[in-house]
A and B are shown apart, each in its own frame.
Chain A
Amino acid sequence: MTNIQIILNAILSKNIFEYLLIDRELKVCHTSTGAHQYMEYALQKGDDIFMHMPEFLGSEDMLKEVFETKDFCYTFKTVQKNNYYMDVSLEYYNHDSALILLQNITKITEVQQKLLQHSNEATLLYRALQKIVDAQNALLFVTNSADEIEFANQSFLYYFHAENLDEIKEKSPKLYLHASRNIKSYNELHAYSEGREIDLTIGNDTFIMQSTAIEETHRLFTLSKVTDMYERTKSLEAEIEVDALTGVYRKKYFDLKLEQLLKEKDHFALIVVDIDNFKAINDNYGHTVGDEVLKEFSSLLRENIRQGDLVARWGGEEFLLTLKMDDFQKAMDRIEILRKTIAQHAFKHIRHLTASFGVSWREQCNCDDANSLLQRADEALYQAKNKGRNRVIAKEFEKRGNQCT
């Protein structure tokens, strides 16, 4: 008995290894007692090896080589035969025989199979979720406790011109810097925005951003691009709220803005402007020229107010203005400049015209409402007209008892 047989017998007793010996004609010449259990057909001496071990079909060159090379060894890993899993090794035995060793690995392979099954199912689930997340038009990203971006969807990668997540991690975009407040991290952005939507402007794009906590450590940020929607809304607003002839706001829109201004509790002047002797322009030059004058006059008003101030057409030749100023006298100076600008302007058809200005001043925390402000400005305009036109008159607020503080 050769050494290899002694070793084999010792191993075989543990029911882990079985073997077949084959001759140069590739016929079975000897088998261990338990080898038959792995075979599809009854195992007999003289059988063609391919009948029992089809694994070797296509490996005829190896089957020749094994008889000639003493250190030859080739293994088919994890072969399923008759509900067993085994590693099948082909080894040199002697010049006339080759050894086919069958190592039963069923138990460990069944455990591996279960793990692989779980792993594959998890991969399928992960990929399905990934596809769902990538299909979102919104930009999604997740940050970790170190305030780094740990995950981003395809829309996010595409927007920031990144091929993959690693590139994003390298670029490390600091979107919190685009928030209107002085925010210095994603964690701060999350704390600021949690539970509500905030606007975020990146370049020319406006996003609505939401943030959600994922466990204690991670934050999910969702950015929905609304630039187009904002522009459409603005365009629609303009169509609805703007006076078709002059291009300035209508009174209805002015009223809304005036209410907002009153809530802000800032100082501002409300001015009613009326073109002097406009009826004569219509009578002398016709209504077409009258319309042209109204357009030119409106443009002049718009050009001479600041961004944030408001101009609207009340009706006919009467206009409304608001000027935010912290001091009444400064506001009056500014209105006086506007009056002079109009008086000195060379109008296209009629050369010169003048306008009268009635002003009411809104003090901080007083009890003025929109009506009282308009009423006082209108009364002041009436006085300006009576005093000879082409002037600015203001009417102050009258305190009534303890109503105002």
Chain B
Amino acid sequence: MIRKKILLIGDFHVGKTSLIRRYVDHAFDDTYLTTIGVKISRKKLLLDHKEYELLIWDLEGATPQKSIPKTYYRGASGAVFVGDVSRLETIRNLDAHIAAFKEVNPDSVHVIAHNKADLLQLDQTNRFQNLENTFLTSAKEDINVDKIFTTLAKEIFHD
């Protein structure tokens, strides 16, 4: 079975752990428990009748005091960059996270999750980019969660 390492990267409290929990365990908990260090979750998936495994690294979020150690980036095939639509600075910071990740993994692929979409009114969703690899997601309402991971997985495994 082919296994690949992917990362969830973004500022703290944008919902990285919740997205993984929704994707891997089909569960959601509203309580904020900050992640420290890294935790790896496994997820098997079938693509074109073949079984693959994603090793999903849930990284401690970047804070004003501490950036994400680049040693975690090593050997990753892809990443989900996560921002919180209710804190636009976390969306603005995504470019810097992507650049830092691509420096270590120039050939990797990525998707962008504009998370906590459940907090937006319908007309507010138009303000967010609707690009090919960018999705409005909600771990709470289970919006586009499978989609971001399968989109990324397809790009990784088909490559």
Contacts and interface: CB of A to CB of B under 8 A. Distances in A.
Interface of A: 50, 54-55, 57-60, 76-80, 85, 109, 112-113, 116-117, 119-121, 123-124, 127
B38 A57 contact: no
Contacts of B13: 120, 124
Nearest to A112: B36
B38 A120 contact: no
A116 B40 contact: no
A123 B74 contact: no
Contacts of B36: 78, 80, 85, 109, 112-113, 116
A131 to B, nearest CB: 9
A57 B64 contact: no
B52 to A, nearest CB: 13
Contacts of A80: 36-39
Given A119-B65, A120-B12, A76 B76 contact: no
Q: Is the interface of A mostly helix, strand, loop or mixed?
A: helix
A85 B64 contact: no
A80 B37 CA distance: 7
Contacts of B75: 57-60
Nearest to B89: A127
Given A109-B36, A119-B63, 19 more contacts: A54-B5, A57-B55, A57-B75, A59-B74, A59-B75, A60-B75, A76-B72, A78-B37, A78-B38, A79-B39, A80-B37, A80-B39, A85-B36, A117-B33, A120-B12, A120-B63, A123-B12, A127-B87, A127-B89
Contacts of B64: 123
Interface string B1-24: 001110000001100000000000
B88 to A, nearest CB: 10
B137 interface: no
A121 B37 contact: no
B3 A55 contact: no
Given A55-B40, A78-B37, A121 B71 contact: no
Interface string B72-99: 1011110000000001010000000000
Contacts, number: 67
B34 A113 contact: yes
A106 to B, nearest CB: 11
Nearest to B36: A113
Contacts of A109: 36-37
Nearest to B5: A58
Interface in B38-74: 38-40, 42, 55, 60-61, 63-65, 69, 71-72, 74
A316 to B, nearest CB: 63
A117 B72 CA distance: 21
A214 B77 CA distance: 53
Contacts of B77: 58
Nearest to A61: B75
A127 B3 CA distance: 40
Interface in B100-124: none
Contacts of A116: 34, 36, 60, 63
